[in-house]
Every structure is written in structure tokens, then in C-alpha cells.
Chains A and B, each alone.
Chain A
Amino acid sequence: MSNEANLHGHTEVVTTHPVHHDEHHVHHHKETFVTKYIFSQDHKMIARQFLITGIIWAIIGGLFSVLFRLQLGYPEQSFPILETFFGRWAAGGKIVPEFYYALVTMHGTILVFFVLTAGLSGTFANLLIPFQIGARDMASPFLNMLSYWFFFLASIVMMSSLFIETGPAAGGWTMYPPLSAVRQASLGSKLGSDLWLVSMALFIVSSLLGGLNYISTILNMRTKGMSMTRMPLTMWAIFFTAVLGVLSFPVLLSGAILLLFDRNLGTSFYLSDIVVNGEILSNEGGSAILYQHLFWFLGHPEVYIILLPAMGMVSEILSVNSRKPIFGYMAMVGSLFAICILAFLVWAHHMFVTGLNPFLGAFFVLLTLLIAVPSAIKVFNWLTTLWRGNIRFTPATLFAIGFVSLFISGGLTGIFLGNSTIDIHLHDTMFVVAHFHIVMGVASFFGMFAGVYHWFPKMFARYLNNTLGYIHFWVTIIGSYLIFWPMHYQGLAGIPRRYLDKRAWASFNQFADLDKMITVVSIIVFAVQLMFVFNFFYSIFKGRKVRTQNPWKANTLEWTTPIVAGHGNWEGEIPEVHRWAYDYGKDGRDFIPQTEPIGENESKDH
């Protein structure tokens, strides 16, 4: 693929956008506050916008979980602080059940979509793609900007739904109809659900604009010598993530639009035979299960959309800090590809007990458990990468190691749930909650933290405070295991998800002490996350300054840019690439940057 041609193509595109900078004179145009910080088309600024918006959402979503954990851990007590936050929704210091479900729904929606999809992919895809493949910016900086602002719009709509009279959507983050479709069925199914659906539609537009941009940039704009197989694994991971998103989000959009029709136009896509509170509805012939198929056709790839970028960053960070190449580069790419394909073929494992044809179920068991093979390959390759390395425990490394640990723990419990026989008992119990929080929630957060600690110097030309970083890591990993490990036992006991008070049950009331413990630990863990946020914002302005171009002694291209890279990234020519990204410890040399030509006497390997 001729890179020069692409660069020329790029230049031509640039000239049609007067706002964009001429890439050969990086600081030519005067930037105003608005074009630099708000409607910026610079991938680095858009990455920061995604990250900071994601952080704000994470605080809100995390706070919700802590507050509803209060109710879960201490159902008999009342907490004035809840009334302070929620007013009439927690009159007398107890969350009313309808609002409890609204909180659970918002917690899930916010963290899955706004934090771990937009906040994670949006940040690191934007930051790293041009940097690591050697491009001046994204293929379309303008679409990139739109991608952020659609996300922002989606955020505004979702946020506004928190303040309306009937409260936000309360049907769970999956929003299964008829509960989410029939207004009489719950308070959250009134205006809140319409706002949820509109917000998701905007979010999907944002995600598609971003994803198409990531794919076209990676395919077309790699610098000279940067063949696909010389790309760092972060690039491969983000590439597959974008492919997953582009192919699956439109299906969710169709599902959401049909749901909007059912809610507002009197159609019956999902509705049939409904008598709600004695009122007989006229809808006949729809299928409530249809929505679940549409939802999970996105919903399952979605968990990999969340997880793959984290995997990519962890691969990169473990290799850099072990001072050793990633083990089995091609196997890593291959397993990412396998996961990407299989992600589309397993959605019905979320639906084993919906009355799905058991014969069909058997295929989904097979395909689901197949995913364990590429996952196992990845784990063993990470372990081998650490083996006989010379490991520096930066906060990023620790979070990457934590990611692997959590990925193992959470991945193994997936083998229980993916097996339909066991799923009959464990479906929709606390076991599921424990499983996906570890493997998708906390693990991806660890990947994201690793990325933030590792690339913070590139983003802000300053370091995060290390001591706070270490405290952050240790409290978070210990806390996460304390919160989610024992939760599996609640699931084995058959305790269903989303039960805010179990005292009335003879079979489910034996874990009161455990619930209290989990609540206390979650408060501590949340407090430490706030400390991280403080560290983040404090260090942007007051952190230790970065004085060397390549502080981690890494091979990839982003560390060849100036410490504070301008719009266009490199001053002068974009460097040419001569080797893969993982020549660490080769021929007795600590590291060999990708830009260094292959030496004459160099041992042959890649």
C-alpha cells in the first residue's frame, strides 16, 4: 500500500477543509479557544474530550452504584444522604423501588456505553491511531469531531432524563419490552424510556462515525513501511473493535427504533396478549423475544468492544515494561480475529431460558465455549511475555497485570454461564452480576487505567503522581475481588439479580453480613477512584513535567513526536518504519525503535 499516495490524498482532503491546518506548516493558523478546545478536529484534543467526558460519566455511574449498594447492604436502615441526593425518590432516606431500578438501569447504561465504550475506545482510538501508525490525523477529522459531539448530545439527553418527573428509564440496561414498551408497566417506562432510546440512537451515530473513521485511518493512512503486521497490538485491537461496532451497532439501532414505534406509533413489533393492571391492550402478534435477538446481536459484540481495546493496551504495556517482545504476535492477532468473528455467533447464550429452541441452544453452547480457546491463547501469551522479562512495575504495568488476573477469573466463570445446562440455574442470578463485572467491567477499567497511566505523559506532557497510582491500584484490585468474588456464592444460592431487599425470602436471606461487607468495600473503592480523578486533574496542571521524548523507552511511533505534539504530530516528515513494534532485548539491546533500519548484523527474526 503506497503511503505517499495516501499522504497526498490526505493533503487534498485537507485543502477542502479551510479550518484544518496545512500539514506542512503545523502552526500556521492561529487557533481560537473554540477551535482548539471545543470544536477541535485534532485527534489528541478529541481523545481528551472523550476521556474527560467519560470520567465525568464514570463518577456519576459509580456514585449511583455506591448509593444503591447502601440500600442493598442495609435494607432496614435509612440514610439521610440518599434523600439529599435524590429528594422525593428517597423520601425518608430509603430509595423507593421504582427509583432503585432506575438507578440500576442508569448505572449499567452509563458504564457500558458512555464510559467503557465511548470513554475507552473514543479516548484511545483517537489518541493512538494517528500516533502509532504514523499519520498526521484521522482520515476525516471533521467526522471525528462530529463523533464526539454526537456523543455529547447523547450525554445531554441521557442526563436530562435523570431530572424529569417520572424519572429515567427503569427497565434494566437491556430495556426488554414489554416492560420498556408499555407505559402503564412502570414509571420509568414513561418519558424516561423515550429519552433513553433517543439518547442511544445518538450514541450509535457517534459510535458509527468514530468506528468508520478508525477503520479507514488504519487501513489507508499508515506511514511508509508500516505494514499491517508491523502495527502494535493496540492498533489491531482497536481495528477489530471498530469492525465489531460498525457491524453490530446498526442492529441495535433498528431494535431501538422499532421499540420507539411500539411505544409511540401503536405498532406491535414486540407486543402481544398484554393485560397490564387489568387494562387490555389491543396489540397482537408481536414477539417480545425478537427484541432480545436484536439487542444481544449488538449486546454480545458490545462486551468485546469494551474488552478488546483493553487487551490491546495491556499487550503493549506488558511488553514495554517487561523489556521483552510480546509473545506470539501473530497468535495474538489471530486470537483477536477469532474473538471478533465468534462475537457475532454467540448472542443467544443470553437467551437460553427464554424458550429458545433447545436444539439451537446447543449450537450456541458450542460456539460460546469456543471463545475460551482464543482467550486462553491470549492469557498464556501474556504469561509468557512476563516470563524471563525484566519487569518494571509502573502503575500502568500493575494495572495490566491486574487486568490479566481479572480476565482469568472472570473468563473462567463465563465457562459456567456459557454452558446452557448450568445456565438454567445461574441465569439472571448474582453469579452473572459477579461474572460480567469482573471480566467486562473491572477488567476493562483496569485496561483503561493502564492506558491512562501509560499515555498520560503523551496526552498532557506531565506524569501522574506515582504514589497515588500505586495506592489506586492496590486498593482497587483488592477491593474488586472482595466485592465480586463472594458474590458468586449468592448466585450459586440462586439469588436473582436486581433484588433490592431479600428479607421476605426464606431461601435468599442468609447473606445479610456479606451484603454489608460488599457495601462497605465498594464505598472505599469508590473513594479511591475519586482520588484517581483528583490525581488526574491535578497532574494535568501540576504534575511532574515530562523531560524526555521517550520516557518508557518504547519502540512505537508516538514516542518519536515532540513532547508536546502540535496539530500534525510530527514536525517535518513522518518517520519511516523499518521493523515491528516489539524489538525489546534483541541482540543485547534494551530496545530498538520502529524507525531504526534493520542493521546488517542483526539477528533475523521479524
Chain B
Amino acid sequence: MSTTFIILILILGFLITFQIAKASEYVAVMRGEEKVRKQTNKINGFMLLAFLVAGLIGVYYCNEQLKGKILGEAASDHGDKIDTMLYITLALTFIVFVITQILLFWFAYKYQESDDRKPYYFPHNNKLEVIWTVIPAIALTVLVGFGIYYWFGITGEAPKNSMLVEVTGKQFGWEFRYPGKDGELGKRYYKLTNEAAGNPLGQVWEDAANHDDVYATQEMHLVVGKPVKLIITSKDVIHDVGLAHFRMKMDAVPGTPTTMWFTPKFTTKEMKKKYGDNFVYEISCDQMCGKGHYSMRGTILVETQEEFDRWMASQKPQYYTAFPDKDPDNPKMAMPADSAKAMTAAVKP
């Protein structure tokens, strides 16, 4: 009902506008086209100036309204660098923006048609052109210099003491794997993937490094102040691990693992104190991946080393989920070791 109403109003408004427009054309013919054109020219000249003033106020107002809604302080050391680079660029471009927009609309207003003015024949001036080639070139060299410096810092090798987490994207959720005590992630082969047999990631069980790897979904645990290196991959289509609070992002590409590393600066608890109880570190998928793209959400819990160790101790390696009989904590060791081996063989292609 209301839709029909809105459409009717639009059509009505349009008809009225059209009649006025048509009438003004006739009026122009009657009153002398040249005279009317000159009047219209004045109106548009004034409007351009008004647009400039209103626009600059609008830019300021928009910033006042929205600056509180963008994410607060970066929650990782790399995030700080990215924010610094962002503000350097913002300062520089904002100056250029204001100057050029003012010149554009001011010139348009100032040099609007007038019978008294003769346009100035000014086809070129080499000095001016050199100036405005060189100045942007210098400004951009500065930006490129800072940019590449930070870029290499962020994308360089992860520190030796980094913890390792593997992130796997799938339609539509996140899976994580921690290396366990040996600090090493076991091999995977995608054709071994078999959720029913307790092997959602396709871990190769012959690889002993897999035996203590811990599998988890949806929530990733990280340690505050400790660098973390993420190994990122995907099972089906391209996803992207987007960590807005840490200012980090990396695609998850099936068949081509990628990496990124950073150091979380604040625990989730500290962030809750700053930004309220609703705060949570979120993992967003930033690469269109199908119908559930907008809801492909994961979370990160940043905690102290002790809390992390306690959590890790409570986790059971995925190996024991796949082979409950191998689990030392399992009261009934139903299967002898040999038949477990036979089962592994059966899973192989």
C-alpha cells in the first residue's frame, strides 16, 4: 500500500516538475532566450558556491557524526602501523581535497559569464606545469616510502617465538587447528576429509605430528602480547580472514595456503572494559563466498598465557576423536592397535 503511495507521489512530483520545466522553456522563448539564459547562469553560479560551502560543512558534520563509530584503537602492533599510515595519508589528501575543491567551485563562481569579462587566452605555461608535476610526485614519494617500509614490516617473517594457528574457511564458517605440544602442524591431504570419521580437515594420521593437533571451530584462542602466525587455507571457495580490530586481512585460497602474523595488544577482557560488555573480537569473511557470506562469522578470544594454557589443557587432540581407542583417558580401549591402523588404511584413497 505505502509502496503504491510512494510511487504515486513520485509520479505526481515528476509531472509537476515536467510542467514547470516545459513552461519555463516557453517563458524563455517569450522573454528572450539570451536574457533568461544569463539569469539562469547567475543562479547556477551562485548554487555552485553554495554547494561548496554546504559541502564543506557537510564533510565536517559527517565526520562529527561518524568518527565515533569507526573502530577504536587498533588491537595489534601491525594495526598501529596501519593506522599511522592511514592518518598520514588522510592528512595529506585532506589538504589537497580542500584546496582543489575550493579552487574548482570558486573559479566556477568567480569566472561565470559576464558581459564585461574577456576570457584570458592562456593555452599553456611550462613553469606551472612542471610545478604541479613535481609537487605531487614528491608527496607521493613520501607516501610510497612510508607505505613500503610499513608493508615490509607487516608482511616480513614472523618472529621465531610465534605461536602457530591454522585457519580453514569453508562455506560458511571457520575451523582452527593448534599444533599441540610438538609445536608442529601435521600434514593434510584434502581427499582424506571425512567428517563422519572424525577427520574434518583431512589430517594424514600417519604423520605423527598430527597426533597432538587440536581442532576447534568458530572461536580462536590467542595469547595477549605473543606474536601469532596464522596459516590460512580454505576447503571450497576463496574466503578471507578479516580481523577488523587487528586491522589484518588475508585471503583463504583453496590449494594455496597463505600466512599472516601479528601480536594482539589487548585481551578480550581489557577491551570489554574499554568498549563495553558487548565487545567481541570478530572474524569476518571479506571475500564473497556464496549465499552465507554475510553471516560467516567467527570470534577470537584473546587471553593471558595462563588462561590459554588452561584452555589448551582441557582440549583433546582430534586424533583421539578419530580413534577413541588410542585415547589414554578412554576407559574402554575397545580396539587393539592393529585394527586402528587398518582403519587408517581404509581412509586412504
Contact = CB atoms under 8 A, between A and B. Distances in A.
Interface of A: 79-81, 96-98, 101, 170-172, 176-179, 182, 185-187, 271-278, 280, 284-289, 322-331, 353-355, 358, 361-362, 365-366, 369-370, 372-373, 376-377, 379-384, 386-393, 398, 401, 404-405, 408-409, 412-413, 415-416, 419-422, 424-425, 427-429, 465-468, 470-471, 474, 477-478, 481, 485-486, 489, 492-502, 504-508, 510-511, 514, 527, 530-531, 534-535, 544, 582, 584-588, 605-606
A393 B119 contact: no
B69 A493 contact: yes
B159 interface: no
Interface centre among A404, A425, A486 (most CB of B within 10 A): A425
B249 interface: yes
Contact of A272 (B24, B148, B193, B254): B254
A428 B238 CA distance: 13
The 4 closest A-B pairs by CB, nearest first: A494-B244, A272-B255, A355-B258, A358-B155
Nearest to B284: A496
Contacts of B118: 390, 585, 588
Interface string B47-73: 110010001001100100011011100
A287 B255 CA distance: 7
Nearest to A468: B21
Nearest to B147: A419
Contacts of A331: 124, 129
Interface stretch (B133-141, B212-220, B311-319, B329-337): B133-141
A505 B79 CA distance: 21
Interface in B151-171: 151-152, 154-156, 170-171
A380 B133 CA distance: 10
A486 B171 contact: no
Contacts of B58: 481, 485
A365 B89 contact: no
Nearest to B116: A390
B254 A288 contact: yes
Contact of B249 (A280, A393, A424, A501): A424
Contacts of A271: 254-255
Contacts of A274: 190, 235-236, 254-255
A51 to B, nearest CB: 22
A481 B250 CA distance: 31
B107 A422 contact: no
B25 to A, nearest CB: 6
Given A274-B236, A353-B240, A372-B136, A328 B18 contact: no
Contact of B297 (A97, A101, A486, A504): A504
A493 B45 CA distance: 37
10 contacts: A97-B292, A98-B291, A178-B254, A324-B121, A381-B129, A387-B120, A389-B107, A424-B249, A471-B21, A514-B66
A274 to B, nearest CB: 5
Nearest to A322: B119
A425 B247 contact: yes
A195 B114 CA distance: 56
Interface of B: 3, 10, 14, 17-18, 20-22, 24-25, 28, 37, 40-41, 44-45, 47-48, 51, 55, 58-59, 62, 66-67, 69-71, 78-79, 81-82, 85-86, 89-90, 92-93, 96-97, 100-101, 103-105, 107-108, 111-114, 117-125, 128-129, 132-133, 136-137, 140, 143-144, 146-148, 150-152, 154-156, 170-171, 190-191, 193, 195, 202, 235-238, 240, 242, 244-245, 247-251, 253-259, 278-280, 282, 284-295, 297
Given A419-B147, A420-B148, A422-B89, 7 more contacts: A79-B3, A178-B237, A276-B235, A288-B256, A379-B100, A424-B248, A505-B284
A534 B89 CA distance: 43
A366 B113 contact: no
A289 B256 contact: yes
A498 B107 CA distance: 39
A428 B249 contact: yes
A68 to B, nearest CB: 12
A392 to B, nearest CB: 5
A392 B236 CA distance: 58
Nearest to B68: A510
A424 B294 contact: no
A495 B286 CA distance: 9
Contact of B133 (A377, A401, A586): A377
Contact of B242 (A289, A387, A415, A428): A428
A260 to B, nearest CB: 18
Contacts of B155: 358, 361
B144 A427 contact: no
Interface centre among B113, B114, B195, B288 (most CB of A within 10 A): B288
Contact of B147 (A326, A327, A422, A494): A422
Contacts of A588: 118
A430 B171 CA distance: 22
Contacts of B132: 376-377, 380
A498 B71 CA distance: 19
A412 B96 contact: yes
B171 A275 contact: no
Contacts of B28: 466
B144 A366 contact: yes
Nearest to B42: A393
B136 A373 contact: yes
A585 B258 contact: no
A416 B124 contact: no
A324 B119 contact: yes
A230 B58 CA distance: 43
B122 A419 contact: no
Contacts of B242: 428, 494, 496
Interface centre among A277, A405, A494 (most CB of B within 10 A): A494
Given A178-B236, A408-B104, A384 B171 contact: no
A516 to B, nearest CB: 14
Contacts of A510: 69
A134 to B, nearest CB: 22
Given A467-B24, A485-B62, A506 B249 contact: no
B282 A586 contact: no
Given A322-B111, A387-B107, A467 B249 contact: no
A538 to B, nearest CB: 8
A184 to B, nearest CB: 8
B82 A422 contact: yes
A408 B97 contact: yes
Contacts of A97: 291-294
Contacts of B249: 353, 424-425, 427-428
Contact of A467 (B20, B85, B258): B20
Contact of B71 (A353, A504, A507): A507
B81 A421 contact: yes
B51 A477 contact: yes
Contacts of A381: 129
B238 A288 contact: yes
Contacts of B144: 365-366, 369, 419
B114 A390 contact: yes
A494 B41 contact: no
A280 B193 contact: yes
A228 B221 CA distance: 65
A310 B182 CA distance: 61
